[in-house]
Structure 1
Amino acid sequence: MLLPWPPCMGGRWPPWKNKCRCRSSGPGANLFKPLPISTMTEYLNQIGGVVGMPGWVLKAFLIILAALLLEFFYRIFVGKLAGLAEKTSHLWDDALVYAGKRPVSLLIWWQGLVMAARVIEPNTEAVGFSADFLNALQQLGLVVAATWFFFRLATGFEKAFVAERRKRNESVDITTVSVLGRIVRIAVILTGVLTVLSILDIPISGFLAAGGVGGIAVGLAARDLLANFFGGFMVFMDRPFSVGDWVRSPDKEIEGTVEHIGWRMTTIRKFDRRPMYVPNATFTTITVENPSRMTHRRIFDHIGIRYDDQDVIRPVVDAIREMIQTHEDIATDQIIMVHFDVYGPHSLDIMVYCFTKTRNWQEFHRVREDVMLKIGEIIAAHGAEIAFPTRTLKVEMAERMALEQAAASEAS
């Protein structure tokens, strides 16, 4: 027997021959009555009979189609939302959009497939999924999507925080932000794993006990790995350097710019642009120098003038000292020393010791060049010259006369 159409039970099949007479109490309203699930199933069975397929297949198909359409419109919605988020001055909304984009799509498909499986399972023996299994599978989908969402949210907040501070031209400790982000992500993953174990009715206490015994075995087998892990933790706690710092070690051939501080190793970019991967345990046994944290750069040189210019050594030293003390790029609040230092093998050596205001490597060499050129001008202005290595040969009188006679005889 064909069921009435539409769901108000007042019509006939096919639907175009139906004349619905149901009215609500309000004027002008033509409302359908609620459709029971059993009645909907019967309608789908009738439609399936018309198109030549079982009703449960049609129902499963409609569920998958609904999931497809929902995910399609969700992508459009997220695209519009991302465009609006980019126009705002805040970066946190970008992190939220980034966090929810893929997990929600996964959740839509996961729930759609589980609902389709609920329809297919009673009508076929091939699948054999029990109701409890499908309930657990549905809960697992929620947990996986939520864990993925919060994992991406932590990553998005980390990137947004760094970007926003840089946008405001404010300093930011990238190392601290990176480590805190990793801790949050690890906590999210552990929470998700424990929740999954609870859903699967796996005793967490037994799992933790097994993990403890296994942890001891793994610890004995992976001492170097644990040493590197704790070495990275100590680097974070002591903070001898951060990402972007120039570091070097007098104990090992380590020098370059820190690019990344990981749990196991630190990446240092050498000045010849080659990467160096240093295990974190190394930093617990070596001395690390961090030139990036210097307050000033130092100029320390010896300038030699000839012994023939000994009578002008004092005015030359005074003029160089005055020049350095009045130089705009020299830090006058630091030690400044300009003195005649030593009688060298070939020259009278003047020591120049001072600090520049800048810490920039290129700017430092520009300042040092300017100081050296002005020192040369001062020496030339006093009629002196910069010394170069010379050797004086003293010959006794008899030997000199013999040499002169030999030269004269050869000339004649």
Structure 2
Amino acid sequence: MQQLDAWLSRLTGGDATLTLVVQVFLVVSVVVVGNFLLRRLLDRLAARTAQTANPWDEALVNAARRPLPLLAWIVGLAFAARIVQSEADAPVFEAVGPLRTIGVIGCLTWFLVRLIANMQAAIMQRQLERGEAVDRTTVDAIGKLLRVSVLITATLVGLQSLGFSISGVLAFGGIGGIAVGFAAKDLLANFFGGLMVYLDRPFAVGDWIRSPDKAIEGTVEDIGWRLTRIRTFDKRPLYVPNSIFTQIAVENPSRMSHRRIKEYIGVRYDDMGVVARIVDDIKVMLRAHPEIEQTQTMIVNLDTFGPSSVDILVYTFTRTTNWIAYHEIKQDVLLKIADIVSAHGAEIAFPTRTLHLLPGDESLSAPPQSVPAPASR
């Protein structure tokens, strides 16, 4: 370093100001060239890792592509500022050291946050490629916890580097936490409600949920720490505070094992003589149907004598849980039941009412009398 200073002194003719300018210029030039080479190196590494089967090296390189060049600039400019500080005793240069420390901590934090996000995406992509069920809820929860941990650790390290006492900060946080707890109890309730959703897992992202207690029904799109976003079936976003889920019952139809068909088939009272045969044929049809689950409860019986029909209960389950396929199967079953009823010469009843007139009741049997229309004015 002394030889470099002597060489610069001879080059600038002993002018201290010119020597300082040349030193700063050289440092900045080295930073610019080094930053350019570093970017090229990272781009080539990213292109090479994108072709490998291992997703972790690609996540690591992509996480470093932006923070690492910024770190090079911070270190280089801080070094240039130190050179200027050696010649100029301005108080402003005393902030160079702390700013450099904060910058390095910030770049490292940025790198770790990006690395966690990239690894989170890589895990989900790998599960999809292997044909495994993607547990997006757990991956998101772990990713969020890791990012919060990194941010809290970086904040504490930064405060310690700036000369603040961590024990004092933690003590202040404990005292202030009591006040914050009273002031933000709803926020904390939502936070712990979201934590319970992550732990108990009554539903996950992509599930169809509904609540009999609240007007909540739709597909879960995101589970945050404060809100859960649900897309209703009319495509409107519904934002539900997480504390609500600790107070209501939640039904998760996405996790049903089968879908149920429960219908009442009404036939006329005139067809009472063939009801037993209709019931037997419906049972035979359901037992032979390829989309009806035979291991589940199946009921086909005369159920009630209705006001205008004899009602047959058809109770069974489909193999599929898909909503669209279920309706196709249900339609096929109902059409086959209609064919069975017709094959026995019976008819499906519709609401009717019979009026019995008593003999000699002339007020009911007499034809209506015409009423003259009012004269026009």
Taking structure 2 as the reference length, the TM-score comes to 0.92
Instruction: State whether residues 121 and 128 of structure 1, in contact with CA within 8 Å, keep that contact through their aligned partners in structure 2.
Output: no
Task: Identify the match of residue 77 of structure 1 among 27, 35, 41.
Answer: 41
Aligned to 1:332: 294
Q: 1:134 to 1:52 in 2, by over 3 A?
A: closer
Q: 1:224 to 1:403 in 2, by over 3 A?
A: closer
Q: 1:38 to 1:52 in 2, by over 3 A?
A: closer
Aligned to 2:256: 294
Aligned to 1:66: 30
In structure 1, C-alpha distance between the alignment counterparts of 2:170 and 2:227, rounded to whole Å: 28
In the TM superposition, residue 270 of structure 1 has moved relative to its aligned partner by: 0.6
In the TM superposition, residue 122 of structure 1 has moved relative to its aligned partner by: 2.0
Deviations 1:281-335 (A, max 9, x none): 1111111111111111100000111111111111111001111111100110100
Letter in 2 for 1:376: A
Aligned to 1:304: 266
Letter in 2 for 1:383: G
| Residues 1:117 and 2:81 are matched in the alignment | yes
Deviations 1:366-400 (A, max 9, x none): 11111111111111111111111112222234358
Q: Give ranges in structure 2 of 5+ residues lacking alignment.
A: 370-377
Q: 1:67 to 1:393 in 2, by over 3 A?
A: same
In structure 2, C-alpha distance between the alignment counterparts of 1:223 and 1:41, rounded to whole Å: 63
Task: Identify the match of residue 319 of structure 2 among 333, 357, 362.
Answer: 357
- State the superposition RMSD in angstroms: 2.3
In structure 2, C-alpha distance between the alignment counterparts of 1:196 and 1:240, rounded to whole Å: 39
Letter in 2 for 1:241: F
Aligned to 2:177: 215
In structure 1, C-alpha distance between the alignment counterparts of 2:174 and 2:255, rounded to whole Å: 42
| Residues 1:228 and 2:190 are matched in the alignment | yes
Taking structure 1 as the reference length, the TM-score comes to 0.84
In the TM superposition, residue 365 of structure 1 has moved relative to its aligned partner by: 0.6
Larger radius of gyration: 1
| Residues 1:268 and 2:227 are matched in the alignment | no
Secondary structure of 1:87 counterpart: coil
Aligned to 1:149: 111
Aligned to 2:55: 91
Q: 1:376 to 1:39 in 2, by over 3 A?
A: same
In the TM superposition, residue 137 of structure 1 has moved relative to its aligned partner by: 3.8
In the TM superposition, residue 405 of structure 1 has moved relative to its aligned partner by: 9.2
In the TM superposition, residue 98 of structure 1 has moved relative to its aligned partner by: 2.0
Instruction: State whether residues 264 and 280 of structure 1, in contact with CA within 8 Å, keep that contact through their aligned partners in structure 2.
Output: yes
Letter in 2 for 1:60: V
Letter in 2 for 1:72: F
Deviations 1:145-195 (A, max 9, x none): 222211211111111111110111101321111111111111111221221
Task: Identify the match of residue 18 of structure 2 among 46, 54, 58.
Answer: 54
Instruction: State whether residues 45 and 56 of structure 1, in contact with CA within 8 Å, keep that contact through their aligned partners in structure 2.
Output: no
In the TM superposition, residue 351 of structure 1 has moved relative to its aligned partner by: 0.5
| Residues 1:108 and 2:72 are matched in the alignment | yes
Task: Identify the match of residue 396 of structure 1 among 358, 373, 376.
Answer: 358
Aligned to 2:204: 242
Q: 1:127 to 1:58 in 2, by over 3 A?
A: farther
Aligned to 2:144: 182
In structure 2, C-alpha distance between the alignment counterparts of 1:186 and 1:39, rounded to whole Å: 49
> Larger deviation: 99-108 or 143-152?
143-152
Task: Identify the match of residue 371 of structure 1 among 317, 333, 339.
Answer: 333
Letter in 1 for 2:212: P
Aligned to 1:28: none
In the TM superposition, residue 406 of structure 1 has moved relative to its aligned partner by: 9.3
| Residues 1:205 and 2:177 are matched in the alignment | no
**How many residue pairs end up in the alignment?**
369
In the TM superposition, residue 209 of structure 1 has moved relative to its aligned partner by: 0.7
Q: Give ranges in structure 1 of 5+ residues lacking alignment.
A: 1-36, 408-412
Q: 1:236 to 1:77 in 2, by over 3 A?
A: same
Instruction: State whether residues 306 and 384 of structure 1, in contact with CA within 8 Å, keep that contact through their aligned partners in structure 2.
Output: yes
Deviations 1:99-143 (A, max 9, x none): 11111011101001101101111223446424xx54444333332
In the TM superposition, residue 79 of structure 1 has moved relative to its aligned partner by: 1.6
Higher relative contact order (CA 8 A, sep 6+): 2
Secondary structure of 1:387 counterpart: coil
Instruction: State whether residues 9 and 15 of structure 2, in contact with CA within 8 Å, keep that contact through their aligned partners in structure 1.
Output: no
| Residues 1:386 and 2:335 are matched in the alignment | no
Q: 1:406 to 1:366 in 2, by over 3 A?
A: closer
Task: Identify the match of residue 130 of structure 2 among 158, 163, 168.
Answer: 168
Deviations 1:198-225 (A, max 9, x none): 2112111111111111111111111100
Q: 1:48 to 1:356 in 2, by over 3 A?
A: farther
